[in-house]
Amino acid sequence: MALSKQSFRSVAMPMAMVVGALLCRPLAVVEEVTAHMLTPLLIASMLFITFCRVDIKTMRLKMIHLWMLLVQFVGCVVVYYATLPLLGECVAQGAMICVMAPIAMAAVVIGGMLGADLNTMATYSLICNIVTAAIAPIILHAFGNGSCTFAEIAGRVIPTLVAPFVVAQLLRWLTPKVAAAIAARSSISFYLWLTALILVLGRTTAFILDTDADPLIEVELALVALVLCIAQFSIGRLLGRLAGDVVAGGQCVGQKNTILVVWMSLNFLNPVSSVAPTAYIVWQNLVNSYQVYKAGKRR
């Protein structure tokens, strides 16, 4: 029975992406009708369930967290200047945003399924997204249209990441039995994530179909996103191996909050550059599907 469950999880993410792509038009309408609030609500809900398993007393800032932040913010500038003379500014912006993207909201959920230390990942998730809210406006000012502010990014991060963490910790403190009961049903987070993934793929597929960008540039953006996805998971696993938690390292560096950076690309960069983080959604979920499959075989 356990193997069957793992087998389902390993194919569930690719299936969700296919469903989202095929139903892109009706899903885009659903997102419009709900004022784009449905996906953040799903993400906040799944994080709340996962954070009920995290004890704030055991959360510690570690050296690996600082190395991962260095990879994120120095790496995005290096990638931009390395790509610019080869493929032009639009592709360079797409590459930069794929590296500058903070850890995905769902990384803690997937990491927990793969056996990562949830305290390490929860700590980094909070730190990384807060630091991104502070530093991203500076980078976007330098390489984009210069209109991004801390308040705009914080307004995206706080409701979906910080608020669920605060509520979960208050619940652990006030009614530990209720928090424990919710934590015991943490598998629900995975299915909430699948639903959010379907919605995100639907909306982004509709955007790609509607854009009139040069097809060659779109292909270049997708391929650059693939290379960066593999590279970041590999670098993260290397850092994780040095710190004693390979899975946490790979998830923290490789799995990106693409929903946030697609929004950044559309608003503060060349809108076509958003094809790169959109493609990254597909690549990172294929990587995660493979990891879930391998974890199931080991078990």
State residue 178 phi and psi, 5-degree precision.
Answer: -65, -45
Are 249 and 227 in contact by the 8 Å Cβ rule? The answer is no
How many Cβ atoms are within 10 Å of 250's Cβ, its own excluded? 27
As given in the structure block, the two tokens for residue 38 are: 């449905």
Q: How far apart are CA 143 and CA 122, in angstroms?
A: 30
Task: Tell me what pLDDT residue 2 has.
Answer: 47
Q: Which residues pair with 103 in a beta bridge?
A: 256
| Model confidence pLDDT, tens digit, residues 115-169 | 888 888 888 988 898 888 888 888 888 887 767 777 888 887 788 878 888 899 9
Portion of the chain with pLDDT greater than 70, in percent: 96
| Model confidence pLDDT, tens digit, residues 208-231 | 788 777 889 999 999 999 999 999
Domain coverage including residue 228:
2-298
- As for how many domains the chain has, the answer is 1
Are 242 and 262 in contact by the 8 Å Cβ rule? The answer is no
Written in H, E and C, the secondary structure of 173-205 is HHCHHHHHHHHCCCCHHHHHHHHHHHHHHHHHH
Residue 27 has pLDDT above 80, yes or no: yes
Highest mean pLDDT among 25-34, 113-122, 227-236: 227-236
Q: How far apart are CA 187 and CA 170, in angstroms?
A: 21
Angle 19-101-120 from CA coordinates, rounded to 5°: 95
Nearest to 146 by CA among 156, 133, 160, 136: 136
As given in the structure block, the two tokens for residue 236 are: 């993260």
CATH of the domain at 227: 1.20.1530.20
> What's the rounded mean pLDDT across residues 8-35?
84
Over the range 62-77, which residues count as b (16 or more CB within 10 Å of their CB) and which as e?
bebbebbbebbbebbe
Portion of the chain with pLDDT greater than 90, in percent: 32
Helix (H) / strand (E) element for 259: namely: helix 258-268
Q: How far apart are CA 139 and CA 137, in angstroms?
A: 6
| Radius of gyration in angstroms for the set of CA atoms belonging to the chain, rounded to a whole number | 18
Contacts of 208 (CB under 8 A, 6+ apart): 218, 275, 278
Q: How far apart are CA 123 and CA 130, in angstroms?
A: 11
| Model confidence pLDDT, tens digit, residues 194-209 | 888 888 888 878 877 8
Length of the chain: 299
Sequence letter at residue 166:
V
Which residue would you say has higher pLDDT here, 295 or 240?
240
Are 271 and 168 in contact by the 8 Å Cβ rule? The answer is no
Ranges assigned E (strand) in the chain: none
